[in-house]
Chains A and B, each alone.
Chain A
Amino acid sequence: MPNKVTFPHMGESYRAFKMLLEDLGNEVILPPRPSRKTLDLGVQYAPEFACLPLKILLGTYMETAAKGANLIVTSGGVGPCRAGQYAQLHREILREQGFDMDMVVFEPPKLYPLDFIRNVRRLNAARLSYRAIYLCIKRSWRKLKALDNLEKLTHVIRPREKQRGATSQVYKKVLPWVDKAHTIKEIEEAERTALDEIKKIPRDFSRTIVKVGIVGEIYVLLEPASNLEIEETLGNLGVEVERSIFLTGWTVDNTIKETKELLNAKDAAAPYLPELVGGHGRDSVGHTILYSQRGFDGVIQLAPFTCIPEIVAKTVLTSVSKEYDIPVLTFFLDEQTGKAGIATRLEAFVDLMKRKKELKTSTA
């Protein structure tokens, strides 16, 4: 039976994963962008107090299963965050609902090297040589990086655009360019033209722009559908956003070597939260301190409801916020969160930051 592979939907990253899995000879069933329907499915079958990502992923798997997918590729984890247990719970729930789906769970390769190789071989339907696999991974890695770079640029351009919505429009237009590119050369070229295209958007440089860092749990940060497009909303309010986690950086941290960014965040967090509390709790604290030192105007923390690591971080963040004089706004997201509610709180938060900034510049 040929592999019909699917994977969790995380922002635009699916474009790179699709290429990789197809290159390895699998048929890819694209996960749909999480919608109300996805979440409803997840909420119906997942345990009540499980966190939002678990529910969204379950819904996504069920939707793709209905489309004929029979193999799920996902990441594992070794705790203490709950995400490491997702795969085995998902497998049980899916089986109970009559979906016969297999799972390939990638654990940290440093701890389980054999498991990693077995997983790679399982996905290597085209029987490519290890060298060829390496090249495939390299190419999709480049694509992933290009996608991250594009997204980063939109965060800078959006608050300054003259016509509201222009950035999102152009971004949507240029993504397929990168999507179509296949060789590294093509990807680099597509990235360059796409970046140029976004830079061409007419901008207004006279606005007061506040800078906000976004920290929190990885899934709700990376999947705009789960955080109700908070970055776009903020951009439209005239806020330049910098996100602490991108998929490329996270993957490097967890597979090869910890990046400098993470080490800096770890060091910064040490006086407040020296322990790895799972998930991204410590990173949230560290990045908040780093953002404050770099002169950001505020920090927004995003976390799923009942996420313990982020609750620990939030408790500590109250004193970080005081000592570093940086406002922190936390959103605990669940299936009940509404976009209008978030927008109102964001508007108030942005107003406060803008006032503070204007006061500072007028006295200086």
Chain B
Amino acid sequence: MVKIGIPSALFYYVYYPKWETFFKALDTEVITSGKTTKKLLDNGVREALADACLPVKVFFGHAMALRDKVDYLFVPRIVCTNKKTVYCPKFLGMPDMVRHGLPQMPPLIDVRVDTRSQRNAIWNAYQQTGSFLGCKKTKILSAYTSARKVQSRFNRLVLSGYHPLDAMAALKGENVVAAKEYPQRLTFALLGYPYNIYDPYISVQIIDKLEKMGVNVLTHDNITPRTLSKQKTSIKKGLFWTFSEQVLKAAKYYFNSEKIDGAIHLTAFGCGPDSLLNNFIEREAKKYPHIPLMTITIDEHSGEAGITTRLEAFVDMVQRKRSGVSLAQ
């Protein structure tokens, strides 16, 4: 059986269920690189360019972990999926970076997805992948249909409060519970890209930590795509990176919604789009002086203790502020 490797990084947190179902339906074996570990990240850091951002280093580590285990590595070139915004340049150049930046990689499947240039670009990409593996069109179509079904189930789970990794486990029939919202607790918006906030290792388990401190955590995934796309940001031209625009709109929505007591922007060291996005979020936050915002930058050396201290201090501050307000009333 042909073995397809899917690195558990970047788009993994968004599209993995779809990809897994698709490849399995085509009678191939799917192998992932599992959770990010210290060793894995160290490997990535060694091979990647020092100036590259943290997520790229993580991805390199995951790709290397699969090097000798698979026949093909699935690294699609996802350019645009909504006809408007594109992904960050590093996503656009990812297959080339893996092919030319890492030694002895297995052959890549790097289909290009760009919904601006052709109709049905997404289906075409799946079809190309399928025919590359030597499957018939009918088989690819049925695989694609079931993949879409699984993906929409996954999306529903995520929207209802499951974090992507939990939702993936739930799809597999494991018994996991969604993060509950407790009405009396503090609620924070955690702003950031899926591959940063949901990766327990590089985010130093920020979601778990906050939940243990008694905070409800909301992310951009808890807003329906429709509501999200309706948000109007204050910048005229909009951001032209898909994930960044999503996060900025989520920030706008949460600040405006009275749902949150505080917001945290989690950004990775060396992230290009974030250098601007962070500034725009700060500007948005200034309009709502009663909601504090904290920016946490993570890198390959992020210490567990340092982040915990900052989180505790931030939670305490918001907590005190809230009890102060309720006393005054």
Residues of A within 8 A of B (CB): 47-51, 76, 78-82, 84-85, 87-89, 92, 272-279, 281, 305-309, 311-316, 318-320, 332
B239 touches A (CB below 8 Å): yes
Contact check, A277 vs B100: say whether CB atoms are below 8 A apart. no
Other 18 A-B pairs with CB < 8 A, given A78-B240, A82-B272, A312-B92: A51-B272, A76-B237, A79-B240, A80-B87, A81-B89, A85-B240, A89-B276, A92-B279, A272-B96, A277-B90, A306-B51, A306-B271, A311-B49, A314-B49, A315-B49, A316-B96, A319-B100, A332-B51
Binding site for A on B (CB under 8 A): 48-49, 51-53, 56, 77, 79, 85-90, 92-93, 96-97, 100-101, 112, 235-237, 239-241, 270-276, 278-280, 283
Closest Cβ of chain B to A42, distance in Å, is: 13
Residues of B within 8 A of A332 (CB): 51
Number of CB contacts from chain A to chain B under 8 A: 119
Q: Which of B96, B101, B272, B283 contacts A275 (CB 8 A)?
A: B96
Are A308 and B90 in touch, CB under 8 angstroms?
yes
B297 to A, closest residue via Cβ:
A49
A48 to chain B: which residues have CB within 8 Å?
275
Smallest CB–CB gap between A323 and chain B, Å? 9
Q: Is the interface of B mostly helix, strand, loop or mixed?
A: mixed
Query: How far is B100's CA from A43's CA once the two chains are assembled, in angstroms?
Result: 34
Determine the chain A residues whose CB is within 8 A of the CB of B86 once the complex forms: 79-80
**B96 close to A308 (CB less than 8 A):** no
Cα distance, A234 to B295, chains bound together (Å): 42
Bound CA span A314–B51, Å: 10
Min distance, Cβ B281 to any Cβ of chain A, angstroms: 11
> In the assembly, what is the distance between CA of A84 and CA of B48, in Å?
27
Min CB distance B77 to A, Å, is 6
Known: A50-B276, A79-B241, A82-B273. A88 touches B51 (CB 8 A): no
A80 touches B96 (CB 8 A): no
Instruction: Contact check, B275 vs A47: say whether CB atoms are below 8 A apart.
Output: yes
List, in ascending order, chain B residues with CB within 8 A of A311's CB: 49, 51-53, 56, 90
**Least CB separation from A322: chain B residue:** B100
Contacts of B96 in A (CB 8 A): 272-275, 312, 315-316
Given A84-B240, A272-B96, A278-B89, A306 contacting B272 (CB threshold 8 A): yes
| Contacting residues, chain B, for A307 (C-beta < 8 A) | 272
Report B36 CB to chain A, min CB distance, Å.
Answer: 20
Most buried by A among B56, B97, B112: B97
